[in-house]
Amino acid sequence: MMQQDARSPLAHLGGALGFGKYMTNAMVLCRYSDGTGWEKPSLVPYGTLAFDPCALVLHYGQAIYEGMKAYRSPDASIALFRPDRNAARFRASARRMEMAEMPEGLFIEAVSTLVDAQRDWVPAGAESSLYLRPVMVADEAAFGVRRSTTYLFFIVATPVDALYRDGMAPFRLMVSEDFARAAPGGGGDAKTSGNYGRTLIALEAARRSGFNNVLWLDPVEREFIEEAGITNVFVRRGRDLLTPPLNGRILPGVMRETILQLARDWGLSAIEREISVTELLSGIDAGDVDEVFLSGTAVHVAPVGVIARRGREHRLAAAGEAQSLAKRLSQAISEIQRGLVADTRGWMRRVAAPSDCLVLSEP
């Protein structure tokens, strides 16, 4: 196991890192305005941001974000996992929200600048990483429902532990039939802040009932599964791996795309199709469903043990380690992310110091 450098700020924190418990001491800012376009990213001390009370984001919700991670390899180098996919999704989210689209190269430059400056904050633990949160908000001070003419882009970072780790109990999900996450044409495939705020009422109800999260159904028939909380869902039946299709309501997860590619490379039948919740639960009861698992940047790959609907719990038999596809996927992806095996697919982008390294300045 890699040891944390004693000079690292992480060496003095002690205990679990958690998720968002500690923030690094710097962030990146970048501004956009119509007519002049994007400024060069600036590295600044982590601190409070000031907004005019009339900033459009506060009234009309033009806000998008990403979630991604940087990893430390055994040779102490730092790399990002598939940042091009996050950059592309960030542009797609901006397009859906009628916001300024950040060039993918500029997005990756901004992320790399922060990671390079904060490389001492990248944990060396086998289940830890530096989580990065790029955000863009409409900061023009104005009233009226319209596109903003100015935007603030920023990135903050936090060293984190994995949200799901070996030895933890599988997830418990409660099917939500009273609320829907997204409607057709409603932007459920954009990583916009409003898509998450509206889910809290169902999430908190599930937690009060002893569940980890919500299994969302389609908003029309309330019959087909979509996401679980803010993660993508997979169902394995033998050598068939099923996941709901990208129908405009489901976020195109980077981990989801990675899992589908690996499964196909391994000779599995990876199928994107609608999955009836009735079909799923009856399959679990009959023992025909081998695994249900979740995927996402924060949760990685996590097994599901129970799905409850209308007061009844449907329990999945625990897959043995040799039979668990979730375990195999998690290990294979983690080994690539941490530089333990050759990156034959070009998924990792090593972070090198920018040629014109920015000077830390006041925001």
- Same domain for 191 and 141? no
pLDDT in tens, 264-304: 999 999 999 999 999 999 999 999 999 999 999 999 999 99
80 lies in which domain range?
Answer: 9-164+343-350
pLDDT at 356 over 60: no
Average pLDDT over residues 317-341: 88
57 assigned to some structural domain: yes
Give the model's confidence band at 363: pLDDT under 50 very low, under 70 low, under 90 confident, else very high: very low
pLDDT in tens, 2-23: 455 555 788 777 678 888 889 9
194 assigned to some structural domain: yes
- Same domain for 188 and 133? no
Give the model's confidence band at 320: pLDDT under 50 very low, under 70 low, under 90 confident, else very high: low
Radius of gyration of the chain (CA): 21
Average pLDDT over residues 161-177: 88
Domain count for the chain: 2
* Contact present, 360 and 25 (Cβ < 8 Å): no
- Same domain for 117 and 191? no
pTM greater than 0.85: yes
Q: What is the CATH number of the domain that holds 269?
A: 3.20.10.10
- Same domain for 40 and 129? yes
141 assigned to some structural domain: yes
In angstroms, the CA 164 to CA 303 distance is 9
* Contact present, 87 and 107 (Cβ < 8 Å): yes
- Same domain for 102 and 26? yes
pLDDT at 167 over 80: no
330 assigned to some structural domain: no
- Same domain for 105 and 160? yes
* Contact present, 300 and 334 (Cβ < 8 Å): yes
* Contact present, 296 and 231 (Cβ < 8 Å): yes
Q: What is the CATH number of the domain that holds 50?
A: 3.30.470.10
- Same domain for 141 and 184? no
Q: What are phi and psi of 145, to 5 degrees?
A: -80, 100
In angstroms, the CA 257 to CA 26 distance is 31
pLDDT recorded at residue 222: 95
Give the model's confidence band at 103: pLDDT under 50 very low, under 70 low, under 90 confident, else very high: very high
- Same domain for 72 and 188? no
pLDDT at 353 over 70: no
pLDDT recorded at residue 358: 42
pLDDT in tens, 51-87: 999 999 999 999 999 999 999 999 999 999 999 999 9
- Same domain for 175 and 303? yes
Give the model's confidence band at 91: pLDDT under 50 very low, under 70 low, under 90 confident, else very high: very high
pLDDT in tens, 195-234: 999 999 999 999 999 999 999 999 999 999 999 999 999 9
Give the model's confidence band at 362: pLDDT under 50 very low, under 70 low, under 90 confident, else very high: very low
- Same domain for 228 and 151? no
* Contact present, 89 and 102 (Cβ < 8 Å): no
- Same domain for 22 and 139? yes
